[in-house]
Amino acid sequence: MREGVSGGPLTRRELLSMIGMSAGGAAMYQAMSSLGLAADSGFKGPMQLSGAPTGAKVLVLGAGIAGLVAAYELRKAGYQVQVLEYNSRAGGRNWTLRGGDRYTELGGFTQDCKFDPGLYINPGPWRLPHHHRGMLSYCKTLGVALEPFMQVNYNAYLHSSRAFGGKPQRFRTVKADYHGHVAELLAKVVQAKKLDTAVSVEDQERLLESLREWGALDANLAYASGPLSNDRRGFQVDPGGGLSGKPVFSEPVGLSDVLSSGLWQALPLCDIYDMQSAIFQPVGGMGMVGQAFGRELGALIRYNAKVVDIDQDQRGVTVTYEDTVSKAKQTARADWCVCTIPLSILSQIPMKVGTPMALAIAACPYAASIKVGLQFKRRFWEEDEQIYGGITYTDLPISNISYPSTGYFSKGKGVLLGAYIFGVDAAEFTAMAPEQRVAKAVEYGARIHPQYHEEFDSGVAVAWHRSPFTMGCFGMWTEEARARHYENLCNFDGRIVLAGEHASYLPAWQEGALMSALDAVGRLHRRAVSGGTPG
């Protein structure tokens, strides 16, 4: 655990954890960034396939987003489609836990979710950026209503157990003070004519003017207590009305304290492409997408079907699966197979493919992550602290506290995301029993919100490495592994093609799963109509 170590800024690992990307440490972050995590998907509108060969059959393995999209498009194009799904519901990691739901993880721990009606958490994906056009388009087509996700909240906190005596700071003040000091430092360099001469005199003047506005500097180019800085960082006594309304100005935090706090590490979060507003969530939980697909595809999906063997020959694919209720084994056969089973599971299933694809399937470790949903007796974060949605970031192992972006101002109980844990901390939390994870999340969170002690009601905790249907959260490609294996992963092997977020440049995102499914389906269709040559 990191808390309690005094002095010094957060380490890079801590930053990565804070921004929710640390699983594999810096190398992974670099790999993700360089390979496009955080990006528009290139979706150009609904797929228009037609003219499937008469009677052509496709087996789709897995009813997560990739499998659902593949099945939806293949059926539309005229294929006979069957989907085999391990769970008793559609969606896969697209999943919402609500009151009354029961979840049993590997190792046998069973949790009964006790949330009030209408309250939920999304153990998996929870956000739909405005540039994930594929996801937004399917939501529109399927009638899944969307509402804004409050990614950035200036009134939420940045918290370091080693800065400001462990007292959480409002995002607003850290951002204003960091910008202000950066602007002042650079403005004074410009004023002293110490800037590189490569910048023209005219540009230097414009730069100075821009820094003044942008950094809220005063007439002396100083970032100081007063109306300009307070118009960003907030006031000590806020302006009001009549005779009692005169404001009192707050005092910015000094440069050295801002820098040593390390809290600036969270500032770029609202600027990351994937997090930029507008960003949405389905009304009622992310699982509404999987549910809608499930309704749409109906009997095409065979639930409780655990794939145990994947075979193929020159003419087709034979999949053996076990009914998880009756334990009976059955087989299904089709001309083609779109396999969307996570590599963490697929690597354990006997499968007749060549060495290149087999090596690719084995090459991708999966991230551990944990989400903990906590129900409280009231929405104290709104009532006491005026935090309506958004995320508090902390260097404690819980990493995030995310306040619900729905039901604002409502009375009664409320559920927040009490932890979103990655990397080493996730391994530690995965090893705990669910109730211990919940207790730990409450213990840590109470250091930011003391109301936790009084108001805590119940919780659920999903550790993805113990999820029976994925055994991990998402595929973590290093740049090296991707360079070596990615094409082999995506290329057809005989009559089998893979899809899923692991087969995309948008790892961990539903849009990646969706786009990989469209790419795979498009290639499958071209093969099928050209006579089925598997080469």
| Selected range binding a second copy among 176-184, 324-332, 442-450, 469-477, rule: CB under 8 A | 176-184
| DSSP H helical ranges for 284-354 | 287-297, 343-346
State which of residues 38, 142, 427, 481 lies at the interface with a second copy (CB under 8 A): 38
How far is Cα 465 from Cα 426, in angstroms, rounded to an integer? 9
Binding-residue pattern over the window 231 to 270 for a second copy, x denoting contact by CB under 8 A? xxxxx-xxxxxxxxxxx-------xx--xx---xx-xx--
* Residue 43 binds a second copy (CB under 8 A): yes
- For residue 410, give both structure tokens: 């409502």
| Residues 323-362, interacting with a second copy (CB under 8 A) | none
Nearer to a second copy, 350 or 354 (CB): 354
Kindly tell me which of 303 and 388 has the beta carbon lying closer to a second copy. Answer: 388
Contact mark string toward a second copy, 279..298, x via CB under 8 A? -x------------------
CA torsion angle for 121, 122, 127, 133 (degrees, to 10)? Answer: -140
- Rounded to an integer, what distance in angstroms lies between the CA atom of residue 415 and that of residue 405? 11
Which has the closest alpha carbon to 258: 303, 214, 215, 313? Answer: 215
Which of the residues 145 through 174 are near a second copy (CB under 8 A)?
A: 146-148, 150, 152-155, 172
* CA angle (439, 441, 442) in 5-degree steps: 65
Question: Do the beta carbons of residue 532 and residue 335 sit within 8 Å?
Answer: yes
CB 155 within 8 A of CB 171: yes
Does the protein bind a second copy through residue 179 (CB under 8 A)?
A: yes
Of 435-474, which residues contact a second copy (CB under 8 A)?
none
Distance of closest approach, residue 102 Cβ to a second copy, in angstroms: 33
Which of residues 182 and 446 has its CB atom nearest to a second copy in the complex?
A: 182
- Is residue 191 within the footprint of a second copy (CB under 8 A)? no
What CA–CA distances, in Å, run from 444 to 81, 159, 160, 316?
48, 11, 12, 54
Number of residues that bind a second copy (CB under 8 A): 115
Q: In what order do the strands lie in the sheet with 301-302?
A: 301-302, 80-84, 57-61, 336-339, 496-498
Q: Which of 504, 525, 527, 528 binds a second copy (CB under 8 A)?
A: 504
d(CA 21, CA 18): 8
Centre a 10 Å sphere on the Cβ of residue 51 and count the other Cβ atoms it contains: 10
Which of 75, 93, 133, 371 is in the footprint of a second copy by CB under 8 A?
Answer: 133
Closest approach, Cβ 164 to a second copy, in A, equals: 16
Of the candidates 425, 426, 416, 421, the residue with the CA atom closest to the CA atom of residue 446: 416
Q: Where are the alpha helices (DSSP H) in 192-233?
A: 201-214, 227-233
Q: Confirm or reject binding of residue 226 to a second copy (CB under 8 A).
A: yes
CA separation for the pair 173, 454 (Å, rounded): 28
Q: Interface residues for a second copy in 390-409 (CB under 8 A)?
A: 390, 405, 408-409
Which residue's CB is nearer to a second copy, number 43 or number 422? 43
Cα→Cα distances 502→7, 35, 368, Å: 39, 12, 15
Beta carbon nearer to a second copy, 205 or 454: 205
Q: Is 142 in the site for a second copy (CB under 8 A)?
A: no
Which residue from 90, 415, 462, 503 is in contact with a second copy, where contact means CB under 8 A?
Answer: 503
* Least CB distance to a second copy at residue 39 (A): 4
DSSP 90: S
Tell me the three state secondary structure of residue 102: strand
Between 434 and 507, name the residue whose CB sits nearer to a second copy.
507
Helix, strand or coil, per DSSP, at residue 303: coil
Q: Which of 517, 525, 527, 528 binds a second copy (CB under 8 A)?
A: 517
523 touches a second copy by CB under 8 A: yes
**Smaller CB separation from a second copy, 339 or 460:** 339
Which of 23, 363, 515, 528 is the binder for a second copy (CB under 8 A)? 515
Shorter beta-carbon distance to a second copy: residue 405 or 458: 405
Shortest Å, Cβ 50 to a second copy: 20
Q: Which of 20, 23, 28, 41 binds a second copy (CB under 8 A)?
A: 41
- Residue 308 binding a second copy, by CB under 8 A: no
Q: What gap in Å lies between CA 197 and CA 188, rounded to an integer?
A: 15
The smaller minimum CB distance to a second copy, of residues 335 and 511, is found at 511
Instruction: For the CB of residue 380, give the shortest distance to a second copy in the complex, in Å.
Output: 15
Q: In what order do the strands lie in the sheet with 146-148?
A: 128-129, 279-282, 146-148
**Residue 387 or 461 having the CB closest to a second copy:** 387
